[in-house]
Each structure stands twice: as C-alpha cells, then as structure tokens.
Structure 1
Amino acid sequence: MLTVEYTLPAELRADILALAQEELHPQGASVAALQLVQSHFRWISSQHLQEVAQLLDMSPDALDGIATYFNLLFRQPVGRHVIMLCDSVSCWLMGRDRLCAHLRQTLGIHPGETTPDGAITLLPTVCLGHCDHAPALLADETLHGDLDTDALDRLIGSLRETP
C-alpha cells in the first residue's frame, strides 16, 4: 500500500521554487512542478497539490484543474508501471478490444485498476498518435505499436521484472 508523505521534501520544494522563478508568473511552472511531484511520489496527492499551489501562489482548485486536464498527471495512486491503452478509432479497428480483454485476463484487473501487487495500472487513453502502428499503448514512457497478444505478454513480463 502506498503511504503519503504529507509534506514535500525540502529539496523538492526548492526545485519547484526554482521553476517558478524562471517564469514571468509563478503559475507558469504549474505543469513542470506537478511533474516533479509525480516523479517523486508516482502520483499527486491532495496534500501535495495544496503545497504546490501555495508555492506557486495559486488556489488549490486552479492547480487541480490543470492536474486533472492532463491525462499523464495522476491524481490517484498508480502502480510502479502504467499501461495506457489507446482507444482511438484506428486502434479499435485494429484489435484494441482483443488486446484489452487479454490485458484484463492476464493482469486480473479492469481499466482504471492496479494489480494487487501494485506492479501495473491499466488505463485507457485518447489517441496516442501512433495510428499507423495500431493498436498501440504507452507503457510508462515508451510507446509500443503493432501489438498482438504475444507482444503484450512479453511487455508484461518485462514490466513485472523491472522495479
């Protein structure tokens, strides 16, 4: 189970303030600051969001609006690895349903869930822009295309072996 540190570490706070100083308005560093928090904790808790908002002289609601707009910023805990399965028309036409069913069966979870061991979170996502290699997915920060069930099994195996 993930535990939440309720205050940002001093080094992370300093990094966020440095980002804010590079902007004409501190709020201009909001996305980069949220990315820093996420890279440290894997997600952005409400407490951390409030701390970042204070550092950037923003309301927590305004910062939450930014955080929830971007689908690569996670406001809920996620696994050590995140698989984002494309749900564009191209991917649907090229077998996305079959791949999603295979992922559900192999991982034992539905989209929006995390495996019980906390290893993998499965999320749907809008078009990844890899239509010429559909069906596609983003695993952590790596784009994969021309997928079939064998490729998925290899990917899942490699993710499970990586901390």
Structure 2
Amino acid sequence: MCSNNLKEEKFKMLDNFINTVPNDQSALIEVLHKAQAIFGYLPEDVQSYVAYKLNVPVAKVFGVVSFYSYFTTEPRGKYVINVCMGTACFVKGANLVLEEFERELNIKAGETTKDGKFTIEVLRCVGACGLAPVVTVNDKVYGHFKKEDVKELLESYSEEEV
C-alpha cells in the first residue's frame, strides 16, 4: 500500500495552501480548516507541522484544535451523519432518530464504524428549525427526518459505493 506516498502528497497540498496565506498565527484557523479538509482530521503530526510552518507554538495549535468543536483529532467516516439536537429538533423526535442510527450502525454518537464508512455526530443547532428534525450527511440536509427514514438513508449511501 502507498500510504506514505499518499500522506506525502497531502503534506504537499497543505504546503501549497500555506504558501498562499500569511506566515503567522493570523492564518492558523484557516490553515487548520484546510488541513482537516485534506487529511480528514488533525492528528498530532499534522498539528505539529502546521505549528512549524506558521512559526506558532505547538501548544497554541493544540489549544485551538481542542477548543473548537469543528476540529477533530480522530479519523471520521466517509459519511459524517449529524443529528441536530436543538430544541425544535429534539421536541420533534431527534433523540429517536439518533438512537436508530446508533442501533443500525452499532456505534454511539462520536464514533465511526469499523469500516470507516459512517461517523455519527450530534449538533446543537443546524439553524433549519422549520425542517425539524434535521439530519445532515456531509453537506446534504435532510428535513422532517423520522427514525423510519434511517435504514433507507443508510442504504442509499451504501448503494453509492457499488
């Protein structure tokens, strides 16, 4: 497997991006967003690399990554399922939707399936209360979502793999 070559390619992509931004801490969050988009998450070696390239203390980078819930230090699935748990969604049964995803995938919120295909996460509010309850998969929004819709949604993403 060429995982080392792939990782080197990802670091080159990150380097190319870093070369377009200011070489200091003012670009830190922007660079971390790009790094997470490239690598899928922010492992320690990537955080250290960003610190080195931006001439920022590693502790500052770790602090930013751990402070913002958007950033993750664990690999995520190809499909990240977010269940909104804002008040409107919760009142309309989002907790039941979450439980059904957990049951179907045999993982809990915050976890990724063993095959690396799905990650379940919980959001505080998507900002689409009129569509409650809301589920997103990557950047696609599904409104008026019911627990009965879970199996069909998962099957639709599994079919995309074939």
Q: TM bucket by the smaller chain?
A: 0.7 to 0.9
Mapped to 2, the partners of 1:20 and 1:126 lie a distance apart of: 33
Alpha-carbon distance in structure 2 between the residues aligned to 1:6 and 1:13? 10
Q: Cα deviation per residue 1:22-78 (whole Å; 9 max; x = unaligned)? A: xxxx22222221122112211110110011011112112212222233323221111
Partners of 2:37 and 2:148 in 1: how far apart? Answer: 30
Q: Relative to 1, partners in 2 of residues 1:135 and 1:159: Cα closer, same or farther, differing over 3 Å?
A: same
Aligned length: 157
Map 1:69-148 → 2, pairs under 5 A: 69-148=67-146
- Show CA shifts across 1:73-115 (max 9, x none): 2211111111121111111100012101110111111111111
Cα pair 2:10 2:39 within 8 Å, conserved: no
Determine the C-alpha separation between the residues in 1 that align with 2:13 and 2:122. 33
Kept in 2, the 8 Å contact 1:7–1:47? The answer is no
Deviates most, 58-67 or 101-110: 58-67
Uncovered stretches (5+) of structure 1, i.e. residues with no partner: none
Aligned-residue sequence identity (percent) comes to 23
**Structure 2: which 5+ residue stretches go unaligned?**
none
Supply the distance in 2 between the matched residues of 1:62 and 1:107 (Cα, whole angstroms).
36
Q: Once superposed, what is the RMSD of the aligned Cα atoms?
A: 2.2
Cα pair 2:10 2:38 within 8 Å, conserved: no
Name the counterpart of 1:19. Answer: 21
SS at match of 2:31: helix
**Preserved CA contact (<8 Å) 2:78 2:116:** yes
The alpha-carbon deviation at position 144 of structure 1 amounts to 2.0
**Alpha-carbon distance, 1:118 to partner:** 1.0
Q: Distance in 1 between matches of 2:84 and 2:91?
A: 12
Q: 1:67 to 1:159 in 2, by over 3 A?
A: farther
- State the AA in 1 paired with 2:47: L
Aligned to 1:55: 53
Q: CA distance change for structure 1 residues 65 and 159 in 2, over 3 Å: closer, same or farther? A: farther
Shift of 1:135: 0.9
Q: Is the 8 A contact 1:17 1:56 kept in 2?
A: no
| 3-state secondary structure, aligned to 2:116 | coil
Q: Distance in 1 between matches of 2:102 and 2:21?
A: 40
Q: Counterpart of 2:155?
A: 157
- Contact in 2 for aligned 1:8/1:51 (Cα 8 Å): no
- SS where residue 151 of structure 1 aligns? helix
Distance 1:64 1:144 in 2: 33
